[in-house]
Structure 1
Amino acid sequence: MLAQGQKPLDQAKTIKITGKIIDAATKEPLEYGTVVLKDVKTQKISGGISDSSGDFSITAPSGTYDISIEFISFKTVTYKNRVVDKDLNLGTIALVEDGQMLEEVNIMPEKSTVDIRLDKKIYNVGKDLTVKGGNVSDVLDNIPSVSVDVEGNVSLRGNENVRILIDGKPSALVGLDGASALRQLPADAIERVELITSPSARYDAEGTAGILNIILRKGKVTGFNGSINPKIGNPEQYGISANLNYRTKKFNIFNNTGYNYRNGPGSSFNDVTYFDANGNTTGYLKEVRESNRLNKGFNTSFGVEYYLTDNSSILANIVYRKSSNESFSSNNVDIFDINRTVTSNRLRIENENQDSNTIQYSLNYTNKFNTIGHQLSVDFQYSKSNQDEFGNIFQNSAFVEDNITVDESTKKLVQVDYVYPFGEGSQLEFGFKGDLEKSNTDYKNLPNVPATYDPSNNLIFEQNVYALYGQYGRKFEKFSFLVGVRNEISDIKINLLTTNVNYEKNYSKFFPTVNFGYELNDSESFTLGVSKRLRRPRSRFLNPFESRSSETNIFKGNVDLNPTYTTSYDFGYLKKWENMTLNSSVYFNHSTDIFQFVTQERGDFVNGVPVLLRTPINLAQEDRYGFELTANYTLSKKVNFSGSFNYFGFKTEGIFEYTNSNNQVITQDFGAQNTSWFTRLNAKVTLPSDIQWQTRFQYNGPQEGAQSKSKGMFSTNLAFSKDLMKDNGTLVLNISDLFNSRKRQSTSYTPNSETYGEYQWRQRQITLSFTYRFNQQNSSQKKDRAPQQQEDDFGGGEGFGK
């Protein structure tokens, strides 16, 4: 790693060195080009890297320097004994390919996996063996501060209200069912993940926990190049993905395509104890569920970027996603009396088929003006999704009912962002965004015996969000800040066609954001972020229709549900040593009108068992707090360790009252206070014959809420990798959940029942994958020089808030 020198004791004048690095042959910018400053007098080294436009900007004390401009497999350009006593612009530096170096590039220790910016952390995930052959959910589950539960739900610092973006925008790749869609996108399509816990005003206010921005791979190498990745696994799984790119001076064509087939067994069971009004046991229920899910998914993204000038381009992109899912489950229910004698038994068989199609069209215009950081970008996006579900239920071999759900949705987006740098280290940014969404969900229940109520439902949901934002950032010497405000106007309409009932909700809110950064020295820095966020209720939470997960468990939305508002505080500290990086944060969130899912008796019975109704309500307030620590330690070229630890807690206040089946007024105090934690440890070792061995241990601590508590969960992933075919191919064996221990074990309570349950979404998975790369000799994707100094100076080459 390049060691940056300290300022001399006489506090020499600070100067700025700028320029642009391009490929001499194609005139294309070179990202991650290295600029090395060697002080002729002290022999100390400092420097930086170029951004995606090839631009660099470095501050240093005035003095005499040897300045080197380097890029892997290109000849180095050096300026010897350059006296720098004022700001210096080196202009455009054209690097020429070094034919000899193309054959002699040394594989060195990989670059740091984290890049710290003023308002986000960037994790480069391409080197992680334990996700090879996996999907986006596997990648996210390996990012510090992020966890993915057994059902695929993503949470950040223990909070599931996370906004997930693809390339900075809402995407059809997430689709109608986020958890399912993330499992279909292959891990090899991802270049990096941006973890934004204190979003600036540029980002949507949605997501009280923060934002996860997934950046997909796009080729930067001239000519035709790419990679192909087939895989096979047990339980039955196979698939293939390809990342292809063709680039010339005037245009860039890229395509990411993947097909995945997975047959995944799962299981769960529930033990329920029932009580009377005096707390005496009245009976028991045991429910054992075995399931098998067949998932077939195809997705492709095709894009063309045309370079109008050296500074402007138009990018057109089409995304198509198709999936077909089949699910079979058997649900065996035994009901016992107080003496645990079986009084009735039923076997409930459910078959479900789900087909979905999504297509998205995107158009982007970007103009980068002559001044570094001066940029205008305009985005248009349109997507349409269709999802059809058909299910039938048999009980004790007798037909019970058919369920048909047809879901259609359209989304339109227009976004304009303008960045204007001025003065010394200052920057203004303004923008507008319109996000228009409309969905039509038609649910039909066709029972064998006519129901006492009409079980069909047709809901039209419209949500239009309009936003304006502005922010100002400045960096001077060791201090930087970014302050802004965003205004979002939400217009929501709900139309229940079955009952011809309409609801409307409209609200407008300002969301201020403040981010500060201070560099104590070249290896130590502090950040502070304060932001206002919200969580809007999804259409399913608002739909007052009663949907069944079983005969005795009903879910019903709440049309009067209001958004949750959260104020977030985040204080971070970063420390670097020669072989180790330590990054830590202390955070606190205060939320009002939080969503709480409450369970109550609906008032009727099935075979003597009370039907339980679960619904969301706005319940008082909640405080969340925590501490996280991540560390990376390089013992040698062959041994690397990394780990993370996250401790978090919450305190909820709220009272809920309802009348049960015995006409008793039940008062539930949802006040709860609990702490939990999760930790990960990664070890990466190079074995003889250059075999890479990586092991990941993860433990999620126990949690407890007002109506439930869950046990801790431990899992282990193991991976081995070997480069073949002159390092153009890589073979990876990956074992996910080595000890088959990834199970959710929880206990939930109501005044009249106690339920213990276990749930395992997916059993241990063994995957063998092979990646073949072609014409990527210039890419830092596979071969890197010694780790380059990332621009951790809050903003880097991308500017404030990016």
Structure 2
Amino acid sequence: MKDRVRILRPALLLAFLVGFCPLLLQAQTGAVRGALLDAATGQPLPFTNVVLLRAPDSSFVAGAQTAESGAFALEKLALGTYFLRATAVGYRTGRRTITLTTATPSLTLGTLRLRSTATQLRDVVVTAERPVVSDNLDKKVIDVSKDLTVTGGTAIDVLQNVPSVSVDQNGAVSLRGSSGVTVFIDGKPTTTTLDQIPASTIQSVEVITNPSSRYDAAGAGGILNIVLKKERRDGLNGQASATAGTGGKYNTSLSLNLRRGKLNAFASYDFRQDRRRITGRLDQTTTARDTTLQLHQDRTGVNTQSSHALRLGLDYALTPEQTLTLAVQPRLNPLESQETLDSRQVNVTDGNRPVLAGTSHRVNTSTGRFRSADVALDYRRTWAGQEGRELTANAVYTPLLADNTVRSLISYPTDNTAVTQQQRTVNHTTQASAQVDYSHPLGEKSHVEAGLRSTLRRYDLDYRFSHSPALSFDPSNRFLYNQYVQAGYALYVNARGRFSYQVGLRAEQTNLDGNQLASREQFAQHYFNLFPSAVLAYELPHDQRLQLSYSKRIERPDAGELNPFTDRSDQLNLVTGNPQLRPEYVHAVELGTQKTFAGGRSVSATAFYRLETNTAQGFRRVLTDPLTGNIVTSTTRQNLGQETSYGLELVGATPLTSFWKLNGTASTFRRIIKGASADGTPINTASQVYSTRLNNTFSLSKQLDLQLALNYRSPINTSQGQRRQNFNIDFGARHNVLGDRGTVTLRVADVFNTLRYDFTATGPGLVTDSRFKRESRIAFLGFAYRFGHSQTTKPARKSEPADDGGGFE
């Protein structure tokens, strides 16, 4: 007992751990414990169902779900002979016969390994691949490594195919209609934007809609974890690929991996050039001072972005129980664009007379570069004699430099004059974090987890504006911003019979400050929050599970939203930050169930409810610019009130024929936004939102696969308007050559060229209709070649009867 208290003493220093002290275990008749790992990767298999069946009639006796570490325990068992069965989506079912006797009432099975269904018979290999979507109730795992419809694309293309996720024309991500989604790469925060992550480097995407207290509370919409590919085979292995797309789009990559004994070294390089045409249109009516103005804008342009992404890393096993990982990911992204903007504004009140400031022909030429690097160090410690005991620590450092210059030539046909202007924005950002987590088993089915985390973000935003002829005011400004978040959490997990539960609490202290050097305006905010979470699960017969969960989340405003200076780069549409903006808070409840059937069929359903307070959205109003006297619109992000959403989400997969597999997702939810703006304008909008994705895979032969994907998202309301529906169909084909070492791919994105982003907005004296189209119908042709060992080295099998350990390795 003294040893247990000594081990838990660091975690008990967390004040909020009080109340999670475990109950003393009662004496057991018999017990079975062990841990499940992926046979290929050696990684734990969390949330896997493990059941014990009575040997004579296979009736249900007891069940459990593995923990994050893969550990499981079944207790209070009568002596006798049983069948142990472990099932995980995409893996062979593991079976083992066990016997509990008076001499050995408790069995410790140690490590049991499950492998994706693959059986080699001489020269024939039959493989059952993991499903595209695996629903583990607490999160969805989407395997995108073989998604043919993202060939040559980026993480934006990948996420557009992920259930419940939508990405707008600016790369902003929302989950079930909620913005403020936190994006991780390999479980760690990053400043890298989605368009800088090549799709070819992504293995899977984890969608965590209701995270527990173990995770950062930031991200009101939830968490998306992008898992990068990593080779697990022994020896030297690699892949080289090249892809070309219509309209000047190219992608080449090379990945290498060397695994020898205790050392695993990996490296990859990816080059990508993406040239996209854009078109847009804006129709806007504004009324102020008894004057009504109508503005029409046409926008055309070409954006070219290049990406150089390097990834270097080492895994080293210090001992069989300790692993150290170092990874460095530098990125360089030069970009350039050419854009033409034609504006015509008339004064309707004055007989449609052209407005001088609003009628122009503008040519923008942009150049820029984006440099960043993620440097991560990870440490993992386990104890062979104590299943489930684990210590992990990691540190991440990310410096970023973004330097962008826009040169504009503006001509005004009304008075036949012309001006030039230049805008240069330099953003120096530093992000660093350190975290330690500890998990300790307290009995057969219970364990406690605790952790500490510290995060630092620093921004130096320098905006320089020049105009010829000179203006009477200077829009240039420099904004310094610092944010510090200190956090600690504790979790307690236990199970009783068919019930299992998890309760947790996270505490976070936020300190931030901003300094606008141009206006000498300074501000600071300090707040402390508690974030509880809870999960209650019940094991149903026939491999079914029901789970209820709750969590509280936060969405903190970013530096740009807090910067009090007014951006006047568009003289007709101003944008001003709000240093009084407060964080949003979200309470989320989910009830989910899933069922797996024979023949690769599965279905899951999740009902969800979400309440967001202090809802922050950009609010647009009409005013007279005090510096120019022009009637303009001004957008400022404000805390408007609250947002409520509730709905249902379905995920399913089934083979339709021997060569045709279908998986799909569908969701619907009601979104309601209520409140008022800072000037008292009431806000009350609502919509019923629908989205669906159907993915068809046709395996016409062992070498040839086809894929057809359909995406639909219905209109969704905002605080002042609506984002209209969008729909697209993607096609892909893959043909394996050269003894399956080579692959030729063909992809046609947005076959019918229907993908577009249209918005409407209304307000006092304001009606806006905006249409934006980014080049989306693109054909890609690619070739990839794999070299090195063709099979993952398997651990030696123990000599045991075929029916004694089927599926386990």
What TM-score does the superposition give when structure 1 sets the normalisation length?
Answer: 0.85
Q: Which of 196, 199, 207 lines up with 2:219 in the alignment?
A: 207
Q: How far has the Cα of 1:312 moved from its partner?
A: 0.3
Among 779, 784, 797, the alignment partner of 1:771 is: 784
Aligned twin of 2:691: 678
1:178 alignment partner in structure 2: none
> What is the CA–CA distance in structure 2 between the aligned matches of 1:597 and 1:95, rounded to whole Å?
49
Q: What is the rounded CA distance, in whole Å, between the counterparts of 1:51 and 1:239 in structure 2?
A: 40
Equivalence for 2:17: none
**Which residue in 1 is equivalent to 2:757?**
744
Q: Is the 8 A contact 2:395 2:433 kept in 1?
A: yes
After superposition, the Cα gap between the structure-2 partners of 1:91 and 1:544, relative to the gap in structure 1 and judged at 3 Å, is closer
Contact residue 153 and residue 198 of structure 2 kept, 8 A: yes
Q: CA shift at 1:357, angstroms?
A: 0.9
> Could you tell me which residue of structure 2 aligns to residue 284 of structure 1?
294
Distance of 1:119 and 1:557 partners within structure 2 = 36
Cα distance between partner residues in 2 of 1:139 and 1:252: 28
Partner of 1:418: 438
Output the aligned Cα RMSD. Answer: 3.6
The sequence identity of aligned pairs, in percent, is: 29
1:650 Cα shift?
A: 2.1
1:138-183: CA deviation from partner (whole Å, max 9, x where unpaired): 2222121112223322111011111111111102xx43xxxxx212
1:405 is aligned to 2:425: yes
Match runs of 1:7-406 below 5 Å: 16=32, 18=34, 29=42, 41=56, 64=81, 83-84=99-100, 86-91=105-110, 101=120, 104-117=123-136, 119-171=138-190, 174-175=191-192, 181-275=193-287, 282-338=292-348, 345-370=359-384, 371-396=386-411, 398-406=418-426
Q: Secondary structure at the match of 2:220?
A: coil
The answer (yes or no) to whether the contact 2:640–2:678 under 8 Å persists in 1 is no
Cα offset, 1:245, TM superposition: 1.2
Deviation readout 1:498-548 (Å, 9 max, x if unpaired): 233321111111111111211212332111111111110000000011113
Please state how far the C-alpha of 1:290 moved relative to its aligned partner.
0.3
1:495–1:503 contact (8 Å) kept in structure 2: yes
TM-score (norm 2): 0.85
How far off is 1:259 after superposition?
A: 0.9
User: Which residue type is aligned with residue 551 of structure 2?
Assistant: S
Conserved 8 A contact 2:263-2:314: yes
Within-5 A mapping of 1:228-627:
228-275=240-287, 282-338=292-348, 345-370=359-384, 371-396=386-411, 398-579=418-599, 580-604=601-625, 610-627=631-648
**How far 1:461 sits from its partner (Å)?**
0.5
Alignment CA distance shift 1:307-1:657 (3 Å): closer
Per the TM alignment, residue 632 of structure 1 is displaced from its structure 2 partner at its CA by: 0.9
- Return the offset for 1:635: 2.2
Change (3 A) 1:78 1:739: closer
Are the counterparts in 1 of residues 419 and 469 from structure 2 also a CA contact under 8 Å?
no
User: CA offset at residue 29 of structure 1?
Assistant: 4.2
- 1:731 match: 744
- 1:445 Cα deviation after fit: 0.5
Query: C-alpha distance in 1, partners of 2:751/2:397?
Result: 42
Task: Please give the secondary structure, in 2, of the residue aligned with 1:188.
Answer: helix
CA offset at residue 689 of structure 1? 6.8
Give the 3-state SS of the residue equivalent to 1:230 in structure 2.
Answer: strand
One-letter amino acid matched to 1:768:
L
Q: Is the 8 A contact 2:218 2:553 kept in 1?
A: yes
Over 3 Å counting, the alpha-carbon distance change for 1:221 and 1:688 in structure 2 is: closer
User: 1:133, CA displacement in angstroms?
Assistant: 2.6
When residues 418 and 629 of structure 1 are mapped into structure 2, their CA distance, relative to the original with a 3 A threshold, is same
Structure 2: runs of 5 or more not aligned: 1-28, 412-416, 795-807
Distance 1:558 1:47, change over 3 A: closer
Q: Distance in 2 between matches of 1:612 and 1:95?
A: 60
CA distance in 1, matches of 2:722, 2:51: 55
- Residues 430 and 706 of structure 1: CA distance in aligned 2, closer, same or farther (over 3 Å): closer
Q: Deviations over 1:525-582 (max 9, x none)?
A: 1111111111100000000111135220011100111111111111112122224211
In structure 2, do the counterparts of structure 1 residues 208 and 77 end up closer, same or farther at CA, with 3 Å as the change threshold?
Answer: closer
User: What is the identity, as a one-letter code, of the residue corresponding to 1:366?
Assistant: R
> Could you tell me how far 1:284 is from its partner in structure 2?
2.5
Aligned residues: 745
Distance 1:415 1:446 in 2: 44
Q: In structure 2, how many angstroms separate the alpha carbons of the residues matched to 1:472 and 1:416?
A: 17
Corresponding letter in the other structure for 2:378 = N
Q: Is the 8 A contact 1:186 1:241 kept in 2?
A: no
Gaps of at least 5 residues in structure 1 are 1-12, 176-180, 659-666, 782-796, 798-802
1:350-402 deviations in Å (ceiling 9; x for gaps): 11112111123221111011222210011122121111111111112834211
Local SS of the residue matching 2:126 = coil
Superposed CA deviations along residues 218-256 of structure 1, whole A, max 9, x for unmatched, are 222111112222111012110112332111221111123
Q: CA deviation at 1:267?
A: 0.8
| Structure 1 residue 116: Cα displacement | 3.9
Deviation at 1:298, TM superposition (A): 0.8
Q: What is the letter of the counterpart of residue 714 of structure 1?
A: F
Query: Residue 451 of structure 1: CA displacement?
Result: 2.6
> Structure 1 residues 780 and 622, CA, compared in 2 at 3 Å: closer, same or farther?
farther
CA contact (8 A) 2:74 2:445 kept: no
Cα distance change of structure 1 residues 117 and 16 upon mapping to structure 2, 3 Å threshold = farther
Contact 1:490 1:506 (C-alpha < 8 Å) held by counterparts: yes
**2:460 touches 2:478 (CA, 8 Å); kept in 1?**
yes
Letter in 2 for 1:195: V
Match of residue 720 from structure 1: 733
Give the distance between the partners of 1:350 and 1:499, measured in 2 at CA.
Answer: 28
Counterparts of 2:85 and 2:213, CA distance in 1: 37
8 Å contact kept, 1:721–1:731: yes
Question: Structure 1 residues 378 and 757 mapped into 2: Cα distance closer, same or farther (>3 Å)?
Answer: same
Q: CA contact under 8 A between 2:281 and 2:298: conserved in structure 1?
A: yes
* Pair 155,457 (structure 1): closer, same or farther in 2 beyond 3 Å: same
Q: Distance in 2 between matches of 1:359 and 1:739?
A: 38
Q: Distance in 2 between matches of 1:714 and 1:395?
A: 36
| Contact 1:255/1:301 (8 A) holds in 2 | yes
Q: Is the 8 A contact 1:118 1:515 kept in 2?
A: no
User: Which residue identity is paired with 1:739?
Assistant: F
1:346, distance to aligned residue in structure 2 (A) = 1.6
Alpha-carbon offset, residue 137 of structure 1: 1.6
Counterpart in the other structure of 2:775: 762
Distance 1:537 1:321 in 2: 26
Conserved 8 A contact 1:29-1:54: no
Name the SS for the 1:428 alignment partner.
strand
Distance 1:154 1:67 in 2: 43
Q: Distance in 2 between matches of 1:93 and 1:479?
A: 24
Output the amino acid matched with 1:309.
T
For residues 320-358 of structure 1, what are the alpha-carbon distances to aligned partners after superposition, in whole Å with 9 as ceiling and x for unaligned?
A: 011011011100112345466767642111111121111
Change over 3 Å in CA distance of 1:31–1:608 after alignment to 2: closer
Given that residues 21 and 50 in structure 1 are in contact (C-alpha distance below 8 angstroms), is that contact kept between their aligned partners in structure 2?
no
Deviates more, 1:485-494 or 1:544-553: 544-553
Cα offsets for 1:715-746 (capped at 9, x unmatched): 11111111111112221111111111111122
Task: Say if 1:185 and 1:258, in contact at 8 Å, map to a contact too.
Answer: no
